[in-house]
Every structure is written in C-alpha cells, then in structure tokens.
Amino acid sequence: MHLSATPIPDSHIKVYLPSLPYLYVSHAINGALLKPANNARAWDYDLATSHQQISDKIYQFTLRKGVVFQDGTPFNADAVLENMRYFKEKPFSFSPFHQVYDYTEKVDDYTVRFHLTEKYGSFINDVIWLHFYTTAYLEKFGWNGKATCPNLAEPGPYGIGPYILTEGYIEGDRRTKKAVLQANPNYYDKDLVNVEKVTVFTELDTNIALEDIADNEGGLDIMPIPVTEVSNIMTSAYAKLVSGPSNDNIAVHINMITGNPKLKDKQVRLALNRALNQSGIVKNSFYGFAETKPTLASPNFPGVGDIAQDLKPFSALEHPKDARNELKQLLNGLTLKVLTQERFMFLWKSIDRDLRKVGVKLEFEITQNENVIFEQLLSTNAGQNTKDWDLLVWGDDDWYFNHPWSAFFVYQTDSVWSTVSPDQTMNTYISDMFKETINTPASTAIIGKIMQRAYDNAYMLFVPAPKKVLAVNQEVMFEPYKMATLPLWEVTVSDQHWSLQQ
C-alpha cells in the first residue's frame, strides 16, 4: 500500500457509477464537519475535531485548524457562517433540517454553534451533508436549493475535499457523462490521498462496461455489477469480485398519482406484493447476494432490524402459489407500464415471472440514463410527469448514512419524491421520527409505526435488499462502504496497475 505524503505520480483509476453518482463522489470533492466512515456510527470527524450537544437545540463544533479551501483561501468560523447564510437562502430540502435550522453563532475563530428551533434528533446525519464552498462559488451559484444532496454545479477549486473537480459536473438532477477529479494539493491530510486522478463515468452501456472491466487491462477499475455477472468477474484475468454488507435498497414506486387508477386500490397493491416470491427473487435474480425484507428499508438500518424480526415479507407468511387463485381474481388482465434503468432488468425478469402467474402484464420502457428516471419521478407528485408509468425503479442507496430516512422519505406524501396518495398519518409519523435520536427505544418505536403503515397499505412494491457487489481491477485496493459513498481517499493501486505501466 502507498504510504507516502503525496499521491502516486501518474496514478489514475476509472470508475463507473450508474446510480446516484453525485452521492458516491460528493465527499471526495467536498468537505463537511463530518464525513462518512465504515464504522458503527457511520461517520468520522472531517473539518471538525470534536463536538458537543449543549441542549436539544444547540450543537457546538470545534473546527480543524490549518485547513484551506482548494483555492487556498482559509477555512474557519467565518467561512462556516458565510456558507450557512447562503444555505438559509437556498437550502436543500431532502430532510426537514431547513425547517428547524435557525442560525449559526461564531464563538471564536475555530468554534461554532448551530442553533435549531426545536428538538431534532437527526441533526448529525444532516451535518454530513453541510458542505462548505469558497466565496467565489457562493457568489456565483449560491447554495444547493434542491431536493437532492449538494454538489458542485461546475468544475473548479471550489470545495475543500481531497479531490478537485476539474472536468464535468455531477449533481442530483444534472450531470455530464464523464467527470474528472484530480488530487487536491492543498488538502489538510497529506497522507490520505493515494491516487492522483479519477475519471468517473455516469452513463455507459452495461454490457460494454462489463466487457471493459473484465477483459481490458486499461479499462474500468471499479463498477457495481449485476449479480448475474459474478461468475464472469471471478474468472476474469483483470478484475476481481468485491462484495460486502449494505444498507442499500431498490425503490420500486407504485404510481398512485397519475398511474393506472386501479393502483389507488389498496387491495390491488397488496395483491401485487403478495404475488412476489421474495425468497425466489433472492435466489434467481440476486444469486444469494440479497436478503428478504418486509418493506423498502434494509434490515441493516438501526431499529429496522428489530421491527423486521416480527414484520415478515408477505411471501414468508403465505407462499404466492397458495394464494394464486385469489390474486388472479384481483389482478388478472391488469397491464402496468414500467420505467426502468437497463441495469435493473435482472430484477424485473423475476418480478415479471411472478406477476404473469397471476395475470399481470408488464410493458417496459428501458433507459441507461438515471436522469430520465428522476425527471419523471420528481414531477409525478405534482401530476406533471411527461411519460406514462405505473411502476418505476431506482437504486435507493443509503445516502443518509445509517438512518432509515433514506428509505422512508419516499413515504412522505407531500414530497416530490413520493408517489403515494396523501396520508397525513404517515406524514405525522415521519415528523415525529426526526425528533428522536436513532438507535433509541423512542426512535425504534416510531420506525415500527412507519414500517407497519407502509406494509399494511403496500405503498411500494417491496423487493429484497441487495448486498454490495462490485467488479474491481485486481491491482486496485479498497473496501466498499455500506452507505452511498465511494471512499476515493482510501483507494490505492499497486505498482502493476495499468496507469503506472503506461
């Protein structure tokens, strides 16, 4: 492993991220008080060195000294206050944080206090996404102001993370097909970054990408793969299989807003879920690299696993074949339009097989571009989607870092991410959840109410939770995180890597 104080000269890796690329690379480019980590709490200190909770509504952070932005300007309490003023004007809206955030106080040059308007137990999870930008960036673009997590709108030395975005851009709602990252020479931890250059691809043909990583010595270095390709990677001369535990989920939306009117009927939605043999899907579609679950949220989330011990998947309570005649009476002749990325067709083959047995026909519109999925999903709640769809799928990886909000947020029925009919009871449960700190009895109790209501009303098409399965160049070393982040700062390459041989 490379342990010198600078990146390996000329080292270069190529990464393909077909789902949520802005999440996976964001913390490699941007800096926050906390950063994701593969530990029990899912974070480590980054631009802060310590913190304390003074009260339910006040949190104090001690800032790391000697830190500068990528353009060389200093990071201190004044920089935090400037960023939070811009945040107040155009905050992110994927959580209620902007609704409870009041102001930030400067205690001294390296100490700040965040003041909230009410008790908010999920504050730490949001702090991980409070990225700080240079004055030049803020004056040009302001803060995020979107329903997605923050990132840079254009390349430049605007962030504070270990890599500078030098080409392209990757935001939640817009991205180039390729982006280039270069090691940040001003990064505060000179021993952390090993690889000098990273090229990130956000849109490739899956078959071509798989061939590239398996058969090309100078091809892709890291990509998530369909589990159907595990054996091909295991026999590759250039790639190896890397897998691990995951908090990730596959979100299959049922369009109760503008979709087939029959989907407003709870009994129809329950029948669709009852028709899916989750154990069979784990075996036939995931080749064992997944686990069954009763709702959207992975059982690896704090609190969710406790509830899932009693709340079982529908097919674990009654095998679909035993209910087939009853399900046919509800579903026979139903045709549903599916909008999906090509990368999820391995899963749809099993879903299609199970639903055909009860008389449901699926019609597919397939894309390689995740933007197409989000364009339709984020406009459906307001009834403005431009494509007709009944079922829609996307990779809902754990972007809230060990907290089930990354699965539950699609149940908040007044959110642009939701395609669920209005449900004030569910919205109230979710509001109550944010007041509690995760991994406490109070938090687990409200998590149970949310899961039970989603389950009883079949608000999504519930499918198994996938494990992390990636193809990685044999000369590249890294350990995947359970969450939606790619720790580029931990990736290293051997002296036999293609970039060094060239």
> What average pLDDT values come out for the chain (502 residues) when binned by 10 residues?
67 96 96 94 96 97 98 98 97 94 98 97 96 97 90 96 97 94 95 95 93 95 93 95 95 98 98 98 94 96 95 96 97 98 94 98 96 96 98 96 96 96 97 94 97 98 96 96 95 96 83
pLDDT for 110: 98
pLDDT for 5: 52
Q: Directed axis angle between helix 424-435 and helix 441-457, to 10°?
A: 160
| 284 SS3 class | helix
CA pair distance 446, 434, nearest whole angstrom: 10
Asked if 268 and 331 count as a contact pair (C-beta separation under 8 A), the reply is yes
Which helix (H) or strand (E) is 304 found in, with range? helix 304-308
Query: What's the CATH architecture for 249-466?
Result: Roll (3.10)
CA atoms within 13 A on the CB side of 431: 12
CA pair distance 398, 484, nearest whole angstrom: 5
Residue ranges per structural domain of the chain: 1-30+151-245+468-502, 31-135, 249-466
Place of tokens 């060094």: 500
pLDDT for 1: 38
Which helix (H) or strand (E) is 104 found in, with range? strand 101-108
E-strand spans in 171-283?
178-183, 195-201, 222-224, 239-244, 249-254
Asked if 287 and 227 count as a contact pair (C-beta separation under 8 A), the reply is yes
Q: How far is CA 298 from the centre of its chain?
A: 13
CATH topology of domain 31-135: Dipeptide-binding Protein; domain 1 (3.90.76)
Residues in a beta bridge with 45: 34
What residue type is assigned to position 292 of the chain?
T
**Rounded to two decimals, what is the model's pTM?**
0.90
CATH topology of domain 1-30+151-245+468-502: D-Maltodextrin-Binding Protein; domain 2 (3.40.190)
Q: Nearest to residue 251, comparing CAs of 363, 429, 391? A: 391
Q: How far is CA 400 from the centre of its chain?
A: 7
pLDDT for 3: 43
Q: How far is CA 113 from the centre of its chain?
A: 28
